[in-house]
Amino acid sequence: MIIAIDGPAGAGKSTIAKEVAKRLQWTYIDTGAMYRVVALDAINKEIDLADINNIIKAVDNIQIKIAHIDRNQHIFLNNKDVSQEIRSNEISQAASTVATIPEVRNKLVQLQRHLAKEQNVVMDGRDIGTIVLPNAEIKIFLTASLEERAKRRFKDQKEDSSKLSLDQIMKQINFRDTTDANRVASPLIQAKDSILIDTSGLTIDMVIEEILKLVKERLYVN
Ligand code: DC
């Protein structure tokens, strides 16, 4: 069985999807991490992000693996665990850029579908309910206002020298929203048969409870 959770950056998808998966004892799959790995590889190889041909060549020659350790997803680029390295602001922006390339998407979508065949999953991303797994039993579209998403990111930052201002965060999220929603290949869009949850003003727990209620009603799972 599949729960697909899509939505823009900073809507709380990963925190919520991870907890829903934990409570159901299903597997959580974070598909954004895969686009981040492609971006990391391109940056490591000093490929210009506008050089689509070389990014496609690079993606054909890398191995991306997912493993779960203590229920946490770890992602490996050519057998190296890069789960932490992919979390920088630079990689967030670059991931959104490489995700516009259809050849990149094709490779990652195959991996995502393969993972969903093997187990019950809660999968989050931008195109899970529309393109990757259109037959998902439950589809959620999580959103929140740009201001609310930026404020959450601002609060979540660690107190170190790389801390960004609220305005910088807002600009970065806005760039990603625009890139993700306006690309030609599988743009971020709400699936017609998905349930919209606007998380502005809701706590994480409230959203988790709402999703678990839906799961109980629709899938008869406790
Ligand atoms: O969910 P995230 O912030 O880790 O995703 C990083 C970028 O990857 C996001 O800005 C767009 C892209 N992405 C995508 O195009 N499709 C997905 N299913 C997941 C992520």
99 lines ligand 1 (CB under 6 A): yes
Closest Cα to atom 12 of ligand 1: 96
101 lines ligand 1 (CB under 6 A): no
What is the percent of the chain with per-residue pLDDT over 90, rounded to a whole number? Answer: 91
Atom of ligand 1 nearest to the CA of 14: 1
- What spatial distance separates the first Cα and last Cα of the chain, rounded to whole Å? 14
d(CA 61, CA 51): 16
Atom of ligand 1 nearest to the CA of 96: 10
- Taking only the tens place, the pLDDT of each residue in 190-205 is 999 999 999 999 999 9
Task: Report whether 42 contacts 55 (CB < 8 A).
Answer: yes
Closest Cα to atom 6 of ligand 1: 32
143 lines ligand 1 (CB under 6 A): no
pLDDT band at 7 (very low <50, low <70, confident <90, very high): very high
Phi, psi of 121 (to 5 degrees): -130, 150
* Range of weakest confidence among 49-58, 126-135, 155-164: 155-164
d(CA 9, CA 221): 29
Mean pLDDT of 42-61: 98
What's the sign of the alpha-carbon dihedral 131, 212, 26, 77? positive
Structure tokens at 109: 């979508």
Quote the DSSP letter at residue 134: T
Which residues is 138 bridged to in the sheet? 3
What pLDDT sits at residue 160? 73
pLDDT band at 222 (very low <50, low <70, confident <90, very high): low
37 lines ligand 1 (CB under 6 A): no
- Taking only the tens place, the pLDDT of each residue in 70-126 is 889 999 999 999 999 999 999 999 999 999 999 999 999 999 999 999 899 999 999
Closest Cα to atom 1 of ligand 1: 32
d(CA 193, CA 191): 5
Residue that wins the pLDDT comparison between 155 and 31: 31
Residues 6+ apart with CB under 8 A from 88: none
What pLDDT sits at residue 70? 85
Q: Ligand 1 centre and the CA of 185: distance in Å?
A: 13
Q: Ligand 1 centre and the CA of 86: distance in Å?
A: 12
Atom of ligand 1 nearest to the CA of 33: 4
Q: In the predicted model, what is the mean pLDDT of the chain?
A: 95
Task: Report whether 5 contacts 130 (CB < 8 A).
Answer: no
Phi, psi of 134 (to 5 degrees): -65, -15
Helices (H), 63-165: 89-98, 102-118, 146-156
Closest Cα to atom 2 of ligand 1: 32
d(CA 5, CA 115): 16
Structure tokens at 157: 């930052």
6 lines ligand 1 (CB under 6 A): no
Give the predicted TM-score (pTM) of the model.
0.95
Q: How far is CA 175 from the centre of its chain?
A: 16
